[in-house]
Amino acid sequence: MGGKVVRSLLRLFLAVVVIGVCLVLLPMPATAQETETWIGSVSFNSDAQPPQNIDLPSFDTMGGTRTLLSVTVELWHRGSAALLADNDDPLKTGSVRGRIVREFSGTGPGVSTGPVTRTVQTAIVALSVDNGDGPLFDPNPPDGTNFGGPVSYPDTLVGLYDLYDPALALYATPGPGTVSFTVTPEFMVNDLRWIVTPDTWQMQAQNADMTITVRLNYEYEQLGGGGGEVGRSAPAFPSIYIGIAAALGAGVAAYAVRRRLAAR
């Protein structure tokens, strides 16, 4: 009778081990977190221009195989202009700065910013009296200047928005789609700021620019670990079966020891 019990326990032990191994090797849907990034820009040379849209791809769930976890929207802008000055006064010197002002506002799904303003001024430049060029525009020294090159500022982050549920529904679509951000040029100035002002002078502003960029980051989880393929992933629960098998094995061993001691 005892031998039959031992054999039954051994068979149960082996069955549990086999089930645990099979579950470990069974192909399971794997997931992987990934990031998708899209970038778009619009440019203006005057605040008299109408608003413009930046259209970027929405997040395609691809039939439910991808789940959007979060959205990050970054707003960047830069501005520049070439400013040129010429003193035409034959009696008075001058000293002057160049200045640009850029201001815009923007809206998008779950996002609103503005007005955002940036002002840049040059160092003060001293100008001599007119050197004989008269009304002919000449921005070269000593009575003229180009302020050493374009007056500008580099790409600057002015807005960072982290969006989660329920705003994610504004970006996720069951197939290819588009999300739009509208940018409005509120104010653009390219001028001179005189510290000592001559009676007669000229200026030009060339290549005025204000560029706004939207950077859109999608963080998502994809079934299959990328590419829709099925990956191998060891589920947590086979360890339970292995633990049961170990317990059964220990029980069989203890039972066998007791049988031997009883037979003596």
Domain residue limits, the chain: 1-28+232-264, 29-229
Top pLDDT among 164 and 105 is at 105
The backbone region for 132, taken as left when phi is positive above 0, alpha when psi lies in -120 to 50, beta otherwise, is left
Q: What is the pLDDT of residue 25?
A: 46
Query: What tokens does 220 get?
Result: 């998502």
- For the residues of 114-183, what is the DSSP string, one character each? EEEEEEEEPPPEEE-S--S-TTS----TTTEE-TTS-EEEEEEEEEEEEE-TTGGGGTEESSS-EEEEEE
- pLDDT confidence of residue 24: 44
| Cβ pair 40, 56 in contact under 8 A | yes
Per-residue pLDDT band for 160 (boundaries 50, 70, 90) equals very high
Write the CA distances from 20 to 94, 123, 193, 233, integer angstroms.
89, 76, 80, 14
Residue 226 backbone zone (phi > 0: left; psi -120 to 50: alpha; other: beta): left
Confidence of residue 114 (pLDDT cuts 50, 70, 90): confident
23, 245, 249, 255 from 11: Cα distances, Å:
18, 11, 10, 15
In terms of Cα–Cα distance, which of 156, 157, 186 is closest to 51?
Answer: 186
**What integer pLDDT is reported at residue 164 of this predicted model?**
85
How confident is the prediction for the chain on average, in pLDDT?
84
The residue type of 86 is D
User: For the residues 118-144, what does the mean pLDDT come to?
Assistant: 97
Q: Distance of CA 148 to CAs 85, 153, 190, 262, Å?
A: 12, 14, 16, 104
Confidence of residue 230 (pLDDT cuts 50, 70, 90): very low
Query: How high is the pLDDT of residue 166?
Result: 80
Q: Given a cut of 50, is residue 188 above it in pLDDT?
A: yes
20-71 pLDDT, tens digit each: 444 444 454 556 799 999 999 999 999 999 999 999 999 999 999 999 999 9
- Average pLDDT value for residue range 137-164: 96
